[in-house]
Amino acid sequence: MTTVGRGRMRIGVATCRAAPDLDEDGPLLLAALDAAGADAVPAVWDDPGVDWARFDGVLVRSTWDYPLHRGAFLSWARGCRRTVNPAGVLAWNTDKRYLQDLARAGVPTVPTVFLAPGGPAGGVPGAGDVVVKPAVSGSAADTGRFAGLSDPGAAALVAALHAQGRTVMVQPYLSGIDTQGETSMVFLGGGFSHAVRREPLLGDVGVRRAVVVADVLGTVRRVEPDDAQLAVARAALDAVPGGRAALSYARVDVIPGDSGPVLLELEVTDCFLFLASATPAGRAQLAEHVLGELRREG
Ligand SMILES: Nc1ncnc2c1ncn2[C@@H]1O[C@H](COP(=O)(O)OP(=O)(O)O)[C@@H](O)[C@H]1O
Ligand SMILES: [Mg+2]
């Protein structure tokens, strides 16, 4: 391939069958990539008709169905010439056991117990409601809030996920989210870009249906994160294997804990980026970083 560095770069923007034309970020993203000098086209990651070799590189975006196909997703990513974010980071970030790495690195994190199928049962920190969700998950799918782990609904969800061979995570329901919401901080091209506040999704006890971006967009508003929230975000990004310099995009979601914000999720795979809340300069920084990463030798 000799076109890299000369002419316009060809970028495949990976999405899923449910969103073949990308999500609500799509038009802004494609415009920024176009302005930066790339021909970017959406392509469904597991569409056998796509020849990924014809792209100089692949930008991973709305690949929301990977939780049920993680192995295939990661081998696809490794098979691409280069992905943004890098395939090694995707492998690490698509299993929420990464939270253990971040907690060990000193990042304030929602207390979490992981229950592997066939493994020992575990207690849950605290006495109130609990949240049960799969360790490989997104869109709040198969996620529920219950009065405790012994609640029949919780036991049924754990059993159902274990029957599928999936590791389950259990967390205390942190009720600060009810009044202060969840704060998503978006980093583009290495720097902080913008943040939004999201309303709690588990206001009621029970298993909720998966969310779609449109549901979330209707209730978000742009906010300025405080220093404590930004410090958690930066600590989390500093602990990403391979370092944060290689990350073209990242979203750090925090909720209120007992003594300050705690990390709920660090998303460097297929996170919605709320690009309408970024500035044009922020979107340009994302596009320039993507092109820089895809141009890098080695
Ligand atoms: N421990 C928790 N306490 C309070 N709310 C939670 C907790 N875990 C999840 N939630 C709610 O459920 C939503 C989805 O959970 P999350 O951990 O972000 O998984 P994902 O977004 O990958 O499906 C969050 O946005 C939040 O509203
Ligand atoms: Mg989330």
Which of 5 and 70 is assigned the larger pLDDT? 70
CATH 3.40.50 residue ranges of the chain are 9-89+280-295
125: DSSP letter:
S
Q: Hey, which CATH number is domain 113-172, 3.30.1490, 2.30.29, 3.30.40, 3.30.300?
A: 3.30.1490
Choice from 62, 109, 133, 146 to test ligand 1 binding pocket (greatest atom count within 8 A of CB): 133
SS3 state at 243 = coil
- How far away, in angstroms, is 8 Cα from ligand 1 center? 40
pLDDT over 90 (residue 205): no
pLDDT of 263 above 70: yes
Q: Which fold has domain 9-89+280-295?
A: Rossmann fold (3.40.50)
Distance, CA 265 to ligand 2 centroid (Å)? Answer: 6
Q: Which numbered ligand comes closest to the C-alpha of 140?
A: 1
Round to whole Å and give the CA distance between 191 and 247: 10
Residues of the chain with CATH 3.30.1490: 113-172
Q: What pLDDT, on a 0 to 100 scale, did the predictor assign at position 125?
A: 61
pLDDT above 90 as % of the chain: 85
Residue 115: strand pairing partners: 168
Domain with CATH 3.30.470.20 in the chain: 98-108+175-277
- What single DSSP character describes residue 151? S
pLDDT exceeds cutoff 80 at 103:
yes
Classify domain 98-108+175-277 at the CATH superfamily level: ATP-grasp fold, B domain (3.30.470.20)
Q: 23 near 62, Cβ under 8 Å?
A: yes
213 ligand 1 Cβ < 6 A: no
Contact 96, 136 (CB under 8 A): yes
Say if ligand 1 is within 6 A of residue 139 CB: yes
Q: What is the Cα–Cα distance from 186 to 169, expressed in whole angstroms?
A: 25
pTM of the model: 0.95
Residue 285 belongs to what H/E stretch? helix 280-295
User: What are the CA-CA distances from residue 160 to residues 86, 87, 119, 166, 208 (Å)?
Assistant: 32, 30, 15, 9, 15
Residue 5 predicted with pLDDT over 60 = no
At residue 177, φ and ψ (nearest 5 deg) are -65, -25
Question: Which of 166, 179, 199, 201, when mutated, tests ligand 1's pocket best, judged by the most ligand atoms within 8 Å of its CB?
Answer: 201
Residue 132 — pLDDT band, cuts 50, 70, 90?
Answer: very high
Q: Are 281 and 71 in contact (CB under 8 A)?
A: no
What is the rounded average pLDDT of the residues 6-30? 95
Q: What is the DSSP letter of 196?
A: E
Any idea which residue has 């691409």 for tokens? 80
pLDDT at 1: 43
